[in-house]
């Protein structure tokens, strides 16, 4: 587990305890009591975050942990995905933090699978964005992969994406492109365009990728014909699960879906506790 994830876990516990103790558990549970904690799905979905949940238990000193489900697996309601055994107080201390990771990340993976299923049979890939929870980006993007999606850049330093505001600031789409190319000659460059005329203008510069912003499927199809496989195309804006297939069959290579990370509902997972080790 990366140092960054360990820091996130430590922050979660620091927030939960706020320098004190779990007064409910300390008051009601004997110091040496041991239990079995099982994480059980209350609804069907794709699981993500198992390694993080395991690390949460290890963080509080629970080492007897087993999982029958791995990230990326689709499970039905009522599936035991993780089991931990040990001190009851420690198990309950870890419960909410582990569930926060599991439910959120599994929700992202489950929603991503819905989008992937919607374009099944086409060559189009579902791709995430940087619309992520601060500090959680690597985990949320891993959850997207668990659901069958693909990742866009992890950080602003990974590649260039010239958007409308960059174009305004630079004085034009070609001017912005040339500035990036001159300053970062080895960087991958993606350019956002709003119209087919802009597409034709930037095509001569040979970018690595062109983002079609808020173009309906019909215009995307025309864009595909214009580029004629000379550059990859990504559609963004106005895309829903209901019209995703229309976009995918237009011939674009990617659908950029911010909702994968910023609007995914949590997957319903609960913890069932039984006495005895």
Structure tokens belonging to residue 251? 């011939």
Structure tokens belonging to residue 188? 């991958």
Structure tokens belonging to residue 42? 């209350």
H or E stretch covering 93: helix 88-118
Mean pLDDT of the chain: 95
Tell me whether residue 42 is one of the annotated catalytic residues: no
Tell me whether residue 192 is one of the annotated catalytic residues: yes
**Ramachandran sector of residue 121 (left: φ over 0; alpha: ψ -120 to 50; beta: rest):** left
Q: Span 216-231, mean pLDDT?
A: 96
Tell me whether residue 163 is one of the annotated catalytic residues: yes
Q: Given a cut of 80, is residue 150 above it in pLDDT?
A: yes
**Ramachandran sector of residue 238 (left: φ over 0; alpha: ψ -120 to 50; beta: rest):** left
SS3 percent helix, strand, coil of the chain, rounded to 5, is 45, 20, 40
Length of the chain: 277
- The catalytic position among 213, 234, 245, 253 is 213
Contact indicator for 95, 271 with CB cutoff of 8 Å:
yes
pLDDT in tens, 152-189: 999 999 999 999 899 899 988 889 999 999 999 999 99
Q: Which of 19-23, 85-89, 90-94, 218-222 shows the lowest mean pLDDT across its residues?
A: 19-23
Contact indicator for 228, 248 with CB cutoff of 8 Å:
no
Q: Span 50-77, mean pLDDT?
A: 97
pLDDT value of position 277: 57
pLDDT in tens, 114-146: 999 999 999 999 999 999 999 999 999 999 999
**The dihedral sign for the CA sequence 9, 68, 263, 124:** positive
Question: What are the two backbone dihedrals, phi and then psi, of residue 276, each rounded to the nearest 5 degrees?
Answer: 95, 145
Q: Given a cut of 80, is residue 63 above it in pLDDT?
A: yes
3 state DSSP class of 271: strand
Contact indicator for 151, 144 with CB cutoff of 8 Å:
yes
Q: Given a cut of 80, is residue 201 above it in pLDDT?
A: yes
- The catalytic position among 58, 96, 145, 153 is 96
Which domains are present in the chain? 3-111+264-275 (3.90.1170.20), 116-262 (3.20.20.70)
- The catalytic position among 71, 140, 190, 192 is 192
Tell me whether residue 213 is one of the annotated catalytic residues: yes
Q: Given a cut of 80, is residue 276 above it in pLDDT?
A: no
pLDDT value of position 9: 96
Q: Which of 55-59, 132-136, 170-174, 258-262 shows the lowest mean pLDDT across its residues?
A: 170-174
Contact indicator for 125, 145 with CB cutoff of 8 Å:
no
pLDDT in tens, 36-52: 999 999 999 999 999 99
User: SS3 sequence, 1-63?
Assistant: CCHHHHHHHHHHHHHHHCCCCCHHHHHHCCCCCEEEEEEEECCCEECCCHHHHHHHHHHCCCC
- The catalytic position among 42, 163, 200, 206 is 163
Q: How far apart are CA 144 and CA 121, in angstroms?
A: 19
């Amino acid at each position: 587990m990366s140092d960054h994830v360990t820091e996130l876990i430590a922050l979660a516990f620091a927030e939960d305890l706020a320098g004190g103790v779990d007064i409910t558990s300390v008051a009601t549970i004997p110091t040496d009591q041991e239990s079995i904690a099982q994480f059980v799905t209350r609804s069907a979905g794709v699981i993500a975050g198992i390694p993080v949940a395991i690390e949460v238990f290890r963080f509080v000193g629970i080492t007897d942990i087993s999982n029958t489900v791995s990230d990326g697996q689709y499970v039905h309601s009522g599936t035991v995905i993780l089991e931990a055994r040990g001190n009851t107080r420690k198990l309950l201390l870890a419960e909410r933090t582990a569930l926060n990771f599991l439910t959120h990340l599994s929700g992202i993976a489950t929603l991503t699978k819905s989008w992937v299923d919607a374009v099944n049979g086409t060559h189009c890939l579902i791709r995430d964005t940087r619309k992520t929870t601060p500090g959680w980006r690597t985990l949320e993007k891993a959850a997207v992969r668990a659901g069958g999606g693909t990742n866009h850049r992890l950080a602003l330093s990974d590649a260039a994406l010239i958007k409308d505001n960059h174009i305004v600031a630079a004085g034009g789409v070609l001017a912005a492109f040339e500035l990036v190319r001159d300053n970062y000659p080895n960087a991958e460059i993606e350019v956002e365009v709003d119209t087919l005329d802009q597409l034709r203008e930037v095509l001569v510069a040979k970018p690595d990728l062109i983002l079609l912003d808020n173009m309906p499927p019909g215009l995307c199809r025309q864009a595909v014909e214009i580029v004629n496989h000379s550059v990859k195309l990504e559609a963004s804006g106005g895309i829903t699960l209901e019209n995703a297939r229309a976009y995918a069959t237009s011939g674009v290579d990617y659908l950029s879906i911010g909702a994968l990370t910023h609007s995914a509902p949590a997957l319903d997972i609960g913890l069932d506790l039984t006495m005895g080790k």
